[in-house]
Amino acid sequence: MSRPISLAMAALLLAVSVAHAATIRVPDDQPTIQAGIDAAAEAAAEGDTVLVAPGTYTGPGNVDLDFYGTDLVLMSEAGAAVTIIDCGGTACGICVNGGQGPSSVIQGLTIRNGQTWAQGGSGRWFCDGAGMYIGPSCAPTIRDCHFQDCIAVAFVLDMWGMPVYMGSGGGLACEGSATITGCTFSGNVAFEQGGGMYCEGSPVLTDCEFYGNSTVGYGAGGGMTCGQGSTTLTDCVFFGNGGSGMCCVLGSTMLTSCRFEGNDGSGASCFSGKLTLTDCLVSGNSSCGAFCSSGDLALTGCTITGNGLGGVCLRAQLNSVDALLMNCTISGNSCAPDGGAVSCNGVNYPVSLTLSDCIVASNTAGCAILCTGAFTEPALSCCDIYGNPGGDWIGCIAGQYGVNSNFSDDPLFCLEDNPGEPYSLHEGSPCLPENSPCGELVGAVDQGCGAVTVVEAVSWGAIKAMYR
């Protein structure tokens, strides 16, 4: 029969464990970052910390870093702003491809000027992830890192000696299950997909920013591209990226409380797979707010406004499209005069669209919902379709006004009365639960300001009479 461990013995074991985990300082204990990692790997001490002093680290021993198979902590003393790995445009940053788990941590580093390369081969490490590459069996923790000005554009020679260009994930390529928190991706470029980041596997991102990233070839997702697997993002921001903010290709991508603003292209796009946005803001993108050419698109509680080519664009060109919109507000979007704030274009395959408790109101051009090509008649319930210059309850949704609690009234947005939440609702809005035909909130945002002040026209004679 086993005997219980005494408190004294437990304390001793804990002390031995803590003592076993060493801190290796760079450059005090080891001259380069790789030397620090090597020392930890040689000691085979799980949990060792390689602590990097402020400075800019470049050249052999500080770039093309490899974690091998060791779980360790690589972190800066004073944060990413003053601790920089500069790859000089001739090398990559960090490779994590030895089966590391969540206890392997990279924290507080800037990785910049990474460049992928190839020498006649086509290995993933050669072509993807100029700033960092995470292998398929790895699940490291990445915190508070900056990926800046890294380029995943490499080439191999085909059988005729001609260059074949490739490269995804300029800042970071993740094929594993990394946990990524508080990181920024800026100015990164990829030839294929994911200028800022390309991922497969099942990474989880929280509180990350993607800005000024782009793709230069035929790829999509200037900010980020998600391939096969399941990716989860919460409280992330995509702004000013080229070729769309983020793109889902195969797999499943779920975003909650994220923002897509001012991207050159669509805010969020889907080319097969399933893209789910919950409580997201999609605003001011040059193309469609949300775009899908095949697969499933689900939007819940989203505000879609000020986009250049429509709010939601469904173009079934690669395969069929199934779209579900619940409690969304679609307003202030521009589109062609003969287009729609929500457009369903069954180019080669049918489009299926369902809207529940949504507002499609006061868009700046086109009709509310436009259907062309192959489509299933959209199914609307408890939706407010109002004030769209090309028409409201017309075309493929004609006849649904007054059916299934659908209505057409000014939603009474707060706008300048609540600049922080302009698409919240005035007191008395027909879209508030106490006033809507279905007794539920219609649109993405609840009440945000008081009653509308009604100013009645008064004649000049009446005004003078008030002072007699």
Residue 250 counted as domain residue = no
Least confident of 157-161, 356-360, 397-401: 157-161
Distance separating alpha carbons of residues 225 and 268, to the nearest angstrom: 10
Least confident of 56-60, 113-117, 210-214, 415-419: 113-117
**114-144, pLDDT tens digit by residue?**
998 754 433 334 578 999 999 999 999 999 9
Q: What is the mean pLDDT of residues 361-381?
A: 95
Give me the pLDDT at residue 118, please.
Answer: 54
Chain mean pLDDT for the chain? 88
pTM for this structure?
0.89
Note down the domain range covering 295: 265-468
Position 461 pLDDT exceeds 50: no
Position 12 pLDDT exceeds 70: no
Residue 35 counted as domain residue = no
Give me the pLDDT at residue 131, please.
Answer: 96
**305-323, pLDDT tens digit by residue?**
999 999 999 998 888 999 9
Position 467 pLDDT exceeds 90: no
Dihedrals phi, psi of 456, to nearest 5 degrees: -85, 145
Burial of 114 per CB tally in 10 Å (0-12, 13-18, 19+): buried
Give me the pLDDT at residue 17, please.
Answer: 41
Number of domains, the chain? 1
Position 109 pLDDT exceeds 80: yes
- The residues facing 259 across adjacent strands are 237, 281
Q: How confident is the model at residue 11 (pLDDT cuts 50, 70, 90)?
A: very low
Give the helix, strand, coil percentages of the chain, each rounded to 5.
10, 40, 50
Q: What percent of the chain has pLDDT over 70?
A: 87
Residue 258 counted as domain residue = no
Q: Largest Cα–Cα distance of the chain, in whole Å?
A: 104
Q: How confident is the model at residue 191 (pLDDT cuts 50, 70, 90)?
A: confident
CA 346 to chain centroid, in Å, comes to: 26
Position 424 pLDDT exceeds 50: yes
Give me the pLDDT at residue 250, please.
Answer: 85
Q: What is the mean pLDDT of residues 274-303?
A: 96
Distance separating alpha carbons of residues 358 and 372, to the nearest angstrom: 21
Give me the pLDDT at residue 458, please.
Answer: 40
**H/E/C letters for each residue in the chain?**
CCCCCCHHHHHHHHHHHHHHCCEEEECCCCCCHHHHHHHHHHHCCCCCEEEECCEEECCCCCCCEECCCCCCEEEECCCHHHEEEECCCCCCCEEECCCCCCCCEEECCEEECCECCCCCCCCHHHHCCCCEEECCCCCCEEECCEEECCEECEEEECCCCCEEEECCCCCEEECCCCEEECCEEECCEECCCCCCEEEEECCEEECCEEECCEECCCCCCCCEEEEEEEEEEECCEEECCECCCEEEECCEEEEECCEEECCECCCEEEEEEEEEEECCEEECCCCCCEEEEEEEEEEECCEEECCCCCCEEEECCCCCEEEEEECCEEECCCCCCCCEEEEEEEEEEEEEEEEECCEEECCCCCEEEEEEEEECCCEEECCEEECCCCCCCCHHHCCCCCCCCCECCCCCECHHHCCCCCCCEEECCCCCCCCCCCCCCCCCCCEEEEECCCCCCCCHHHHHHCCC
Q: What percent of the chain has pLDDT over 90?
A: 74
Residue 228 counted as domain residue = no
* Run of H or E residues at 411: none
Position 48 pLDDT exceeds 80: yes
Dihedrals phi, psi of 111, to nearest 5 degrees: -115, 115
Distance separating alpha carbons of residues 313 and 288, to the nearest angstrom: 6
Least confident of 10-24, 41-55, 191-205, 241-255: 10-24
Position 16 pLDDT exceeds 50: no
Position 412 pLDDT exceeds 90: yes
Residue 355 counted as domain residue = yes
Burial 25-44 (b: 16+ CB within 10 A, else e): ebeeebebbbbbbbbbbeee
Give me the pLDDT at residue 167, please.
Answer: 83
Residue 294 counted as domain residue = yes
Q: Which range has the top average pLDDT, 122-131, 213-222, 390-399?
A: 390-399
Strands 237-239 and 447-451: unpaired
Distance separating alpha carbons of residues 433 and 431, to the nearest angstrom: 6
Give me the pLDDT at residue 164, please.
Answer: 66
Residue 299 counted as domain residue = yes
Residue 81 counted as domain residue = no
* Run of H or E residues at 74: strand 73-76
Distance separating alpha carbons of residues 143 and 29, to the nearest angstrom: 24
